[in-house]
């Protein structure tokens, strides 16, 4: 499978616009119809209280991967598709001064917003990188944990994403991500009927497809657990696996 560069650019423009909205004092997410499905409302009150307003307003995820990743002091964490930095900042606090949290994003506007948020939150053990989740700009075996929040569904080459995740994780490393999944019976066309690619719906894998792709990339102990419904036969899910 190859990258659909036109679709990638459509995704980039969508999220650049969201970031600019927040930078201009607005909000990127979410409408009343999205309440309880996406955004900072999926984080507990204590987590939200730790964050700058702009980080909360820029939250576009479908879950809280930090809550499921079981982060430990001193670990190195990578967030794929970091957006405004909400999960990077929370991860940085959990791994402490001896740990580090990387945030990867392809959108200049989101990176600017994330760096602003890190400065406002006075969090120094973070680094935001520009790049693609299919081509992670980090060395082999350089991170302990990978998190991601409703981003892998936006890639047009998910096999490359999983291979890159396996490459940069240290042996025994793990993933704790949230993403949208389709029920196994839905065809690609039926997924597209339920929402746009940029809205995290049309590009979603099924649970079986997610599991098979992770196993093929070398992961084990794969689990997919649904949390809430976002569209007909489409759900947010927690995905865990170990390298």
What is the value of pTM for the model shown?
0.85
Give every CB contact of residue 201 below 8 A, 6+ residues apart in sequence.
Answer: 153, 180, 191, 192, 194, 195, 230, 231, 234
* pLDDT at residue 41 is higher than 80: no
The bridge status of strand 143-149 relative to strand 126-130 is unpaired
Going by pLDDT thresholds of 50, 70 and 90, the confidence category of residue 69 is confident
| Residues 140-195 pLDDT 10s | 999 999 999 889 988 989 999 999 999 999 999 999 999 999 999 999 898 888 87
DSSP 30: -
Going by pLDDT thresholds of 50, 70 and 90, the confidence category of residue 46 is very low
Domain 5-242 adopts which CATH fold? Rossmann fold (3.40.50)
Domains of the chain: which residue ranges?
5-242
């Amino acid at each position: 499978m190859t990258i659909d560069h036109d679709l990638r650019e459509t995704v980039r423009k969508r999220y650049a616009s969201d970031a600019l909205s927040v930078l201009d004092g607005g909000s990127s997410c979410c409408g009343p119809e999205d309440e309880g499905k996406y955004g900072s409302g999926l984080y507990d009150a204590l987590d939200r209280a730790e964050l700058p307003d702009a980080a909360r307003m820029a939250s576009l995820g479908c879950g809280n991967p930090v809550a499921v990743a079981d982060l430990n002091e001193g670990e190195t964490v990578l967030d794929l598709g970091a957006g405004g930095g909400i999960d990077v900042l929370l991860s940085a606090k959990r791994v402490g001064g001896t740990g580090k949290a990387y945030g990867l994003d392809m959108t200049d506007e989101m990176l600017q917003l994330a760096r602003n948020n890190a400065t406002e939150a006075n969090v120094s053990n973070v680094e935001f990188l520009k790049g693609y989740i299919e081509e992670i700009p980090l060395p082999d075996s350089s991170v302990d944990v990978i998190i991601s929040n409703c981003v892998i569904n936006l890639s047009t080459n998910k096999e490359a994403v999983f291979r890159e995740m396996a490459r940069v994780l240290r042996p025994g490393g793990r993933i704790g991500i949230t993403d949208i999944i389709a029920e196994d019976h839905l065809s690609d066309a039926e997924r597209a009927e339920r929402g746009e690619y940029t809205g995290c719906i049309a590009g979603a894998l099924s649970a079986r497809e997610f599991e098979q792709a992770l196993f093929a990339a070398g992961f084990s102990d794969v689990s997919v657990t649904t949390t809430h419904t976002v569209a007909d036969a489409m759900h947010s899910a927690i995905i865990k696996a170990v390298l």
